[in-house]
Amino acid sequence: MTNKIALVTGANKGIGYEVARQLGEQGITVLVAARNQSTADETAAQLRRIGMDAVGVELDVTNAEHIAALSQRIHNTYGRLDILVNNAGIWAENGEYEGDAFRDTFEVNTFGPYHLTQALLPLLLKSEAGRIVNQSSALGSIQFLLSNELAQRIATPAYSASKAALNMLTAYWAQQAQGTKLKVNSVHPGLVKTRMGGEKAELSAEDGARTAVRLATLPEDGPTGGFYYMDSQLPW
């Protein structure tokens, strides 16, 4: 994996940080994205202290100027991008959010990944083994929601719909990339002990990152256009 370049959004904490760390452990240069430069720089410095090749980059996925500037920076510095992990996301339907929870959830969870991926596709297609991983959720699986009692208790409309839409983008990009070396997949991290998942969640952030890392480093004969949790394929 030496000399590969990865961009991880929302990488300053939780699952995103663990995805960046685990990719860095494999010798991959990780562009650590956070909503402001100082946070990104602090996170990158933390990863460098434990031996990773990490660079902090400013990226609010809802900010078109950030997306354009970062795309140009990657083009000028590296000439390509090997891995994109669309990890940044929100769950705003917690009773405390003061904005338009439905609209803002889609802005971050669906529109942001769409615009970022579209901007970076030319760079990903220049890679000899381009990989896009969309951090989704089992709550975005229509079949799972219709059949699972736990999902029916905890699902909220904006979050579930935004992740279902992200899954559709995964399928769309995978089809568009047919005949190229680019692979595009969605992942479910599991119920993880993060601010979003809560302290009663069953998995650590380290375990929650493993599916995304596996899909980000797929070999040439690996799958594309799928939805995965660990080694299992999930229903759309």
Task: Work out the angle between the directed axes of helices 64-77 and 112-124 (0-180°, nearest 10).
Answer: 20
- If we measure between CA atoms, which residue out of 24, 28, 25, 20 comes closest to residue 4? 28
Helices H, strands E: what count in the chain?
9, 8
Whether 57 and 73 have beta carbons less than 8 Å apart is answered as: yes
Answer yes or no: is pLDDT of 235 > 90. yes
Task: Read off the pLDDT band of 178 (50, 70, 90).
Answer: very high
- The domains found in the chain, sorted by start residue, are 5-233 (3.40.50.720)
Alpha helices per DSSP H over the chain: 14-25, 37-49, 64-77, 101-106, 112-124, 142-147, 149-154, 157-176, 205-216
Whether 71 and 120 have beta carbons less than 8 Å apart is answered as: yes
- How far is it, in rounded angstroms, from Cα 158 to Cα 164? 10
CA atoms within 13 A on the CB side of 5: 18
Tell me what pLDDT residue 35 has.
Answer: 97
Residue type at 118 in one-letter notation: Q
- Per the DSSP assignment, residues forming a β-bridge with 83 are 6, 131
Task: Work out the angle between the directed axes of helices 14-25 and 37-49 (0-180°, nearest 10).
Answer: 40
Question: Is there a catalytic annotation at residue 126?
Answer: no
Query: What pLDDT, in 10s, does the model give residues 118-161?
Result: 999 999 999 999 999 999 999 999 999 999 998 899 999 999 99
Query: What pLDDT, in 10s, does the model give residues 159-170?
Result: 999 999 999 999
Q: Environment class of residue 9 by beta-carbon count within 10 Å: exposed (0-12), middle (13-18) or buried (19+)?
A: buried
Question: Is there a catalytic annotation at residue 159?
Answer: yes
Tell me what pLDDT residue 223 has.
Answer: 98
Catalytic residue among 4, 13, 126, 163: 163
Contacts of 29 (CB under 8 A, 6+ apart): 3, 4, 5, 6, 53, 54, 55
Catalytic residue among 4, 159, 193, 228: 159
Answer yes or no: is pLDDT of 187 > 90. yes
Query: What pLDDT, in 10s, does the model give residues 41-80?
Result: 999 999 999 999 999 999 999 999 999 999 999 999 999 9
Answer yes or no: is pLDDT of 197 > 90. no
